[in-house]
Chains A and B, each alone.
Chain A
Amino acid sequence: MSQAQVTIPYRQADGPQGKKEPARMKFYIDVKRCIECGGCEVACKNENNVPPGIARIRVVTINEGEPGETNVAIPCMHCSKAPCVAVCPVDALFHRPDGIVALNKETCIGCGYCLYACPFGAPQFPKGSPFGSRGVMDKCTYCAGGPEVAFSERERRLYGSNRIAEGKLPACASVCATKALIAGDAEEVANVVRQRVAARGAGGGAWGWDAAYGKGF
């Protein structure tokens, strides 16, 4: 297996020591903006040749048809302290320097431990074989391919496209019509979220605000 060097996006400004800091890539899903169009799901499948039965991102609707209906797209959240990375016995799941939780399909043993550890349902297993769910795990790659030579045929077959190495953002975030799903360096994402929350007033529609502080705060 050729362990190609990964192409890492860097922050715009230099770090405190004057060094270039790797960006910390994150998704943010704005539940006030998502309209459940499914564009992200389609874009993801189209971009990455996702195997049948696997949804690397899917839109979940809660309170459907009732007041307060909410839609939220759920990809892998690329957690900083990722439970899947913690439980994986063979270290097939790992953090790239830019914070993306990447998967090595060459070392995955297909045990399913990550599936139960993940609160977002990001790691999934192919269901095509006669024995139900077999084979190795598949998950959102943040459109950053895998630990293979960038743009190689092998990487494309195993993991899908590598838009990060091309200098682009993930396909799902690129196509999102309402900019509900935003991606990028955590600082940039936080700036966008801060502006939106400030514009909306107290609570800002943050998930769980009403439950914690009550309405009309």
Chain B
Amino acid sequence: MEPIVLWQHKWGLTFHIPWYLFLGGLAGGTLTVAALADLFSGTRERLRDFSRAAAYVTIPAILIGGLSLTFHLGKPERGFAFPLFFTNYQSWMTIGGWILGAFAPLAIAYAAAWYLNIGRGVRTALALIALPLGLLMSLYTGFLLSATWVVPGNRWYVPLWDSRYLPLLFVLSGISTGIAAAGLGALVMGRWRTSSASDRGARESQAVAEVASLADVAAIVMEGAWVYVFLASFGAGTLGQQMAFKLMTQGELAPWFWWGFVATGLALPLVASGLHTVGERVFHARLGWIFYVKFVLVLVGGLMLRYVIVWGGDLKTPLIFPPSMWPVPGVSGPPIPGLGG
């Protein structure tokens, strides 16, 4: 029997949702790494500079992301007043509204603590809240998508948005793009500072970028490993998962996935890091510009990943219900989760 696949569009039609998922995950990642670097910096100047840059970068990311989220709504004014209107607390959109509502003020307070140079005690207290909240922010963007219900037999209506793979993928991508954004922010801010002062600012930001680059390699490797697990289990999964796998790796989304995400976001940044290491260590060349390229590549890759995931969400699991799965109350055993008995 040929499956019925219903194609529906909305979130992939405009830039709002993919950009929000990208910027929201990125902001969660930057705040997490900022808090981590701050808490474990000790006396190391580099880590503290990195933390400051990450805290600053979080602000535009969450503001632009939040605005694009709000303005994708048919009624944006109700999105701003979400505590009044969002009444269904089993919906991830309501939970996410509160996460975002807590995240944005905290990110601003944390950046302000850096900017105004308030004592370390206040910053540490903020960082201790920011660390879990940043992770939650990236995590929720994944759960938001994957909460599109489960049918009996663990088949998802939207197979690509599987809650076993997507939230962690978005967290890892959020951290890798967050580190890249923080590194890029440090480079840009260092350049901006040098134009007025000496060469010292540039050297400092270069050192911060090296830290970010190294940390990003670890994040990218973990992300790549998880993408492999994701794809491998989908290729051998249920019918809907196999269709999603084919759409992503061989179908219309394949160029976006392979070139846009895997090559741009995972492979080329690692190549760039390798080139930089070889160039500096072996040929003693000054290759600071490679960091710019690498961070931009990681960011573009992260954005493309969100586009592929959102576009791929148009594919729905075929509606095949074998009669053996029809719940007969009181006859065929315990009630089926999600359908009742």
Contacts and interface: CB of A to CB of B under 8 A. Distances in A.
Interface in B288-320: 313, 316-317, 319-320
A116 B8 contact: yes
B322 A89 contact: no
B338 A81 contact: yes
A133 B324 CA distance: 39
9 contacts: A88-B88, A89-B82, A89-B91, A119-B6, A119-B151, A121-B6, A135-B74, A207-B321, A213-B324
Given A87-B93, A88-B91, A121-B6, 12 more contacts: A62-B1, A62-B2, A89-B88, A91-B87, A109-B73, A112-B10, A112-B72, A116-B11, A117-B148, A119-B6, A211-B1, A212-B324
Contacts of B340: 80-81
Report the 4 A-B pairs with minimum CB-CB distance, sorted nearest first. A110-B74, A212-B322, A83-B149, A89-B93
A111 B322 contact: no
Interface of B: 1-4, 6, 8-11, 13-14, 72-75, 78-79, 82, 85-88, 90-94, 97, 145, 147-149, 151, 157-158, 161, 313, 316-317, 319-324, 338-340
A136 interface: yes
Contacts of B74: 108-111, 125, 134-137
Nearest to A85: B88
Nearest to A119: B157
Given A86-B149, A107-B85, A116-B158, A133 B94 contact: no
A63 B14 CA distance: 33
A213 B340 CA distance: 24
A206 B323 contact: yes
A134 B313 CA distance: 19
A121 B10 CA distance: 12
A187 interface: no
A89 B86 contact: yes
Contacts of A107: 78, 85
A37 to B, nearest CB: 19
Given A90-B78, A91-B88, A111-B93, A131 B14 contact: yes
A119 B88 CA distance: 20
B91 A115 contact: no
Contacts of A89: 82, 85-88, 91, 93-94, 97
Contacts of B73: 109-111
A10 interface: no
Contacts of A117: 147-149, 157
Contacts of B94: 89
B238 to A, nearest CB: 13
Contact of A115 (B10, B145, B147, B319): B10
Interface of A: 60, 62-63, 68, 72, 74, 80-81, 83, 86-91, 107-113, 115-121, 124-125, 131-137, 206-213
Contacts of A90: 78, 85-88
Nearest to B316: A119
Given A132-B14, A133-B10, A110 B75 contact: yes
Nearest to A111: B73
A107 B78 CA distance: 9
Contact of A116 (B13, B313, B319): B313
B338 A208 contact: no
Nearest to A137: B74
A120 B322 CA distance: 17
Contacts of B72: 111-112
B5 to A, nearest CB: 9
A113 B72 CA distance: 12
A214 B86 CA distance: 47
A132 B71 CA distance: 13
A63 B2 contact: yes
Contacts of B158: 116
Contact of A119 (B86, B90, B319): B319
Given A83-B157, A87-B93, A89-B88, A210 B1 contact: yes
A47 B338 CA distance: 34
A125 B10 contact: yes
A72 B196 CA distance: 71
Nearest to A86: B90
Contacts of A120: 6, 319
Given A89-B93, A111-B93, A132-B13, A121 B8 contact: yes
